[in-house]
Structure 1
């Protein structure tokens, strides 16, 4: 396997997932700030021109961070981060799906239409006219997850899962782009501190640079 990585929340999801697994695979750094992911040689691997990208054992190229994590879970089943039973996997996948719709999509689309507009305006369709509303939608999604987690340790209860990794990487990204985790969401604030204390949080941040 070979992982094409970069800066950004979605590449960090995979790196943090790998750190939690204790799995080491080959990696290559792609500089998205320089637009290397839009060059013909990379687009030949991933027509969508996005990171992360995993070259699987059979040579197939797999994009989308959560799909990559699902493949890694199959290859490195311990410790389970999606689930060790059908029921656990179903709950994790439900949480990930909700996060994608209610937090990930509005937050990242808002970024591309606001703070990230200079970088993305010539790469894809951006929606600056919708940025404020999308940011509000992301905050609504975070509030829903604040209520969902309540006094539980992790989103799925006592299991630390891909859902926690996804939400943590996105909220850490949000801090950098004008979408911080609202202070009044006390449950998520406490949850975020717990995730930040995990070694994988620091290791994945360092690994994003392509140096570590």
Structure 2
């Protein structure tokens, strides 16, 4: 059985969890927080998520895990999550990478300010806006939302973008007063459709259950860092 290591407050953990549930693969969850010695023994840089395969192989990095699961466990029930055509497959992966680098990653810079209540410095805000603008332009060119991200068929890009949005949409709205949904036509309706799925609702319920423990961990880390200054 696959073991999924990490915690449910993590959007990337939930991305992999959604994929496992979508493919109806049996898996066990192992609660580990980033940077712990236990996680470092599994993930080379101590990042969440990580998986351990039934054969004992440890893997980290969400895109690597997603590709491994899709290639290793083809489904007889559901269509493949990557198109058969190599060009179409590359477009799906391109959307995933752009969403990660130009949507999620810059938005992550805002999380610390949201949790501490400090105002985002204008220099940081300007840098985040600049990178997000590049991501918005690229996603508008690549995404179709007809009805799915890459067109008629549900692909890995749908799962990936949905969980990337968990950080991007929330923290950009709260810290920069910027509605990213309004910048990418079709994304909001697609996102709402994704959120109504049984799998997404199950993942979200588990995320909410984990949040109090996660926030306590963050508070301990914040107080420790403050004391060491």
Q: Give the TM-score taking structure 1 as reference length.
A: 0.77
Go from structure 1 to structure 2 and tell me whether the alpha carbon gap of 1:45 and 1:210 turns closer, same or farther (over 3 Å shift). farther
Q: 1:49 aligns with which of 46, 51, 58?
A: 46
Alpha-carbon RMSD across the aligned residues, in angstroms, is: 2.8
Match of 2:152 in 1: 158
| CA apart distance, 1:131 | 4.5
Q: 1:20 aligns with which of 19, 22, 36?
A: 22
Match of 2:104 in 1: 104
Go from structure 1 to structure 2 and tell me whether the alpha carbon gap of 1:134 and 1:207 turns closer, same or farther (over 3 Å shift). same
Higher relative contact order (CA 8 A, sep 6+): 1
Q: How do residues 121-160 of structure 1 correspond to structure 2 at under 5 angstroms? A: 129-150=123-144, 152-160=146-154
Q: Give the TM-score taking structure 2 as reference length.
A: 0.72
Paired with 1:139 and 1:194, the residues of 2 have a C-alpha distance of 25
Larger Rg, first or second structure (1 or 2) = 2
Paired with 1:210 and 1:75, the residues of 2 have a C-alpha distance of 31
Which ranges in structure 2 are unaligned for 5 or more consecutive residues?
174-178, 211-229
| CA apart distance, 1:111 | 2.7
Give the number of aligned pairs.
197
Which ranges in structure 1 are unaligned for 5 or more consecutive residues?
119-126
Pairing 1:2–2:3 present: yes
Paired with 2:87 and 2:184, the residues of 1 have a C-alpha distance of 28
| CA apart distance, 1:62 | 0.5
Deviates more, 1:132-141 or 1:3-12: 132-141
Task: Looking at secondary structure, tell me which structure has more helix per residue.
Answer: 2
